[in-house]
Amino acid sequence: MSQNQGISKVQDSIKELTKIDPWLEPYAEEIAYRRSIADNWIDKLNKNEGSLLNFANSYKTMGLHIQPDNSIIYKEYAPNAVNASLIGDFNNWNHDSNIMIKDSHGHFSIKIQPNNDGTPKIPHNSRIKIYLTLPNGEKIARLPAYIQRATQPPKEYNNPSYEARFWNPPIKYIFQNKRPKLPKSIKIYEAHIGISTPDPKIGTYNEFTDNILPIIKDLGYNTIQLMSIMEHAYYASFGYQITSFFAISSRFGTPEDLKRLIDTAHGLGLRVLLDVVHSHASKNVEDGLNMFDGTDYCYFHSGGKGIHDQWDSRLFNYGHYETLRFLLSNLKFYLDEYKFDGFRFDGITSMLYTHHGIGSGFSGNYNEYLSPFAPVDKEALAYMMLANDLSSDYSTENNCTITTIAEDVSGYPTLCRPRIHGGVGFDYRLAMSIPDMWIKILKHKSDEEWDMGNISHTLGNRRYREKCVSYCESHDQALVGDKTLAFWLMDAEMYTHMSVLSPLTQVIDRGIQLHKMIRLITQSLGGEAYLNFEGNEFGHPEWLDFPRTGNGESYHYARRQFNLIKDDLLRYKFLYQFDKAMNETEEKFTWLNSEPAYISLKNETDKVIVFERNNKVFLFNFHPTNSYVSYRIGVELSGTYRIILNTDRIKYGGHGTIDESKSVFFTTDLEWNGRKNFIEIYLPARTALVLALEQEINNSNK
């Protein structure tokens, strides 16, 4: 079949895209062409490797692997090198004793026979490197690219570069719990192991397992998104300057510790996603992939095309066979070895465009994305499709559901449409405009200036049939130089008036009420899944700043003060309890992962927003002072409504102005605000309510 015939065949399969969005019709041929690049890779991999999954199994042969007879096979890709040897503690770093053999494809390999007593020649946790000879005679030592353990030398060595370790523990971890099934609504708790302790230090996998998993479960989240897991030499990079892709961060503990964490999470019914960084790599040479075989193009683009100027990092060549082997097998490694349940792909915007999103705004005009001349990196786009194919194939083969989330700020169309329809295949994209909106409002608008129409539009503005993860704030908004929402709302008095023994000031009262309302309207209106960054659920009082030269290497801000929620005299407990109630109510009555809401009211004078989603009615009164008696709102379904969630409850730091035992709302058969019926309700200032039909409430209690 010719390429044109292939594109024509693909065009027939993308009619589902154009049916949902007719504005895509003029770009059908280009969409088909972009899909054909990935499909051609699938054909090639099927022919060469047997299947995409087989290709992604390469991590089982690349790198170092113990054999049943305790011999060790090592294989490495370094096409520019003319000779190679394996060196390490096991051979006293002798360059001539373990010479490797090079094949015609640029792979070096060697088999290390066991000791005479049958034990492995390379001891567990001993240091190793590959020693390469370049065409000009230069000798270089590198950490194996597929190494599964890398650690920092003791400080007294005065060498910050990480060391590769042969990881072969005598006792292998055995998972006890199966992967939990995909929940009906995904509620994500974004977390960083190192900061997950109140103490000014680096937290560990084991501490997270013992101390934080129970909190996440109690809060009602069903998915954890773990950041900074892939090994990174510089802690303050927040895990986004990867040096060893197959090694998990050793500063938090051992591979067995992380396996225990994920296994324990699964036992609690919590799925775990990996924040995967395939958009770029650290420029480190001594302990990274950069200049691995003496060239700048072993895994990356050569020259300026291979440099991300803003991030000061290296950019992968996604059209290169061995780069695809490395990245796709990296994904499967984490699925197989650690039992992750999916991935949040970082930096998708940088991958999508040849300009990497630097200095380029996106107006939403389809030509910016889908024109044949648009600055789209089609090889990177094909890689994303292959990554999603891998996740889908893995799900089928292992009877599970692997979830993929894209971090894209550009709004690329079809990103979250199925591959079979011509889409890129992600399950969700992050709704990145939402936190920006909240920060701008809190920075620049008085309460009286809040625009109900703009808030509603931003929260509801997403591509039809492309699912979004909504969030008020992620780790980005917690970093030093910015402020969390709680800090924007209450920083003037957070250190002096968060005790219940001190008077409730206007600043603290406003902050507590709006903090709850912002979270509820974002979760219920903003997407099909929801994300919270750890600590923000209870209004963590400080930003996040990792130890670095600029702050005297301090850990003071590189921590989360979970001790605050345990102090009954502090008001943080109110925000914690509301976040828990919000998740539990959603779990019981469901509004996420359903059809988008119908917004029936955006009243700028009253500062009221009303919408319905999945037959629940949501009412938000953002007015700072005005409460409304017998406030009339439209509802589609007739019947009797009751309150299922109320931000003004005293246990959530509210004022208890609504007697919920007497709050029963009967519909009147008269059209109002475009709905078939109306009800009248008491709506206090700075209060949000969620109503459900009495019949649904009764059914949920059975």
Residues with catalytic roles: 346, 407
CA distance linking residue 418 with residue 466, whole number of Å: 9
Q: What angle do CA 187, 190, 358 make, to 5 degrees?
A: 110
Note the helical H segments in 205-342: 205-207, 213-219, 255-267, 321-337
The sign one gets for the Cα dihedral 540, 541, 543, 545 is negative
User: From CA 463, how far away is CA 423, in angstroms rounded?
Assistant: 13
| CA separation, residue 290 to residues 236, 329, 522, 527 (Å) | 20, 19, 41, 39
Token pair for residue 177? 């719990």
H or E, element range at 440: helix 433-444
Asked whether 386 and 327 are in contact (CB, 8 A), the reply is no
H-assigned helices in 14-120:
15-20, 28-49, 52-56
* Backbone region of residue 333 per phi and psi (left: phi > 0; alpha: psi in -120 to 50; beta: other values): alpha
> Do residues 672 and 661 make contact, with C-beta atoms less than 8 angstroms apart?
no
**What is the CB-side half-sphere exposure of residue 501 using CA atoms within 13 A?**
4
Q: What is the torsion angle, in degrees rounded to the nearest 10, for the CA atoms of residue 456, residue 461, residue 465 and residue 469?
A: -80
DSSP secondary structure, 224-254, as one string: EEEES-EE-S-GGGTT-S-SEEEEEPGGG--
Give the Cα separation of 538 and 518 in Å (integer). Answer: 13
* Residue of 89, 233, 87 lying closest to 159 (CA atoms): 233
How far apart (Å, rounded) are the C-alpha atoms in residues 676 and 248? 56
514 to 507, 517, 658, 686: CA distances (angstroms): 11, 5, 18, 7
**Rounded to 5°, angle at Cα 333 from 330 and 337:** 155
Letter for the amino acid at 360? S
- Cβ proximity of 476 and 483 under 8 Å: no
Amino acid identity of residue 529, one-letter, is A
Pairing label, strands 230-231, 244-248: antiparallel
CA dist 120 and 362 (Å) reads: 56
Report whether 472 contacts 432 (CB < 8 A).
no
Is residue 435 within a helix (H) or strand (E), and if so which, with residue range?
helix 433-444
SS3 call for 368? helix
| Alpha carbon distance, N-terminus to C-terminus of the chain | 59
Structure tokens at 358: 């630097």
Give me the half-sphere count of Cα atoms (radius 13 Å) on the Cβ side of residue 531: 27
CB 239 within 8 A of CB 251: no
Q: By the 8 A CB rule, do 143 and 284 touch?
A: no
Q: Is 402 left (phi over 0), alpha (psi -120 to 50) or beta?
A: beta
Token pair for residue 551? 């702050």
CB-side exposure of 465: number of CA atoms within 13 Å? 13
Which parts of 268-371 fold into alpha helices (H)? 321-337, 348-352, 367-370
Angle at 189 (CA atoms; ends 397, 560), nearest 5 degrees = 140
